[in-house]
Structure 1
Amino acid sequence: MVACIISHSDVNDAFVAEAKACESAVLFAIELGFKFVQVEGDSLTVIRKLSSDSLDKSIIQPIIIDIKAKLQLFEKITFSHVGRQGNAAAHALAKIHTQFQLPRYWVKEAPQEVEQVTIADLR
Structure 2
Amino acid sequence: MAAFTQIIPLPTSVEMVEVLVARSALGLALELSLNQVQLEGDSEIIFNALSKGGMDSPSYGHIIKDINHFSSAFQCLTFSHTRRIGNKVWMEEIPLEFESVYFADIP
Scaled by the length of structure 2, the TM-score of the pair is 0.80
Q: How many correspondences in the alignment?
A: 97
List structure 1 segments (4+ residues) > 3 angstroms apart after TM superposition: 108-111
Determine the C-alpha separation between the residues in 2 that align with 1:109 and 1:78: 26
Deviation sequence 1:14-55 (CA, Å, 0-9, x none): 1101110111111000000000011111111111111114x5
1:2 is paired with a residue whose SS is coil
- CA deviations on 1:38-90 (whole Å, 9 max, x unpaired) are 1111111111111114x52112101100000111100000000111111124x
Distance 1:73 1:42 in 2: 24
- Which protein is richer in strand relative to its size? 1
Equivalent positions of 1:31-110 (< 5 A) are: 31-53=31-53, 55-58=54-57, 59-89=59-89, 109=98
Gaps of 5+ in 2: 90-96
Q: Give the alignment's Cα RMSD to 1 decimal.
A: 2.3
SS of alignment partner, residue 72 of structure 2 = helix
User: Does the CA-based 8 Å contact 1:40-1:82 persist in structure 2?
Assistant: yes
Instruction: Report if the CA contact (8 A) 1:2-1:109 is conserved.
Output: no
Q: Check 1:73–1:109 CA distance in 2 against 1; reply closer, same or farther (3 A cut).
A: farther
Tell me the distance in 1 between the aligned counterparts of 2:67 and 2:41.
14
Identity between Structure 1 and Structure 2 (%): 30
User: Higher relative contact order by CA 8 Å / sep ≥ 6: 1 or 2?
Assistant: 1
- With normalisation by structure 1, the TM-score equals 0.70
Structure 1 residue runs of 5 or longer lacking an equivalent are 90-107, 117-123
| Deviation by residue 1:75-109 (Cα, 9 ceiling, x = unmatched) | 000000111111124xxxxxxxxxxxxxxxxxx84
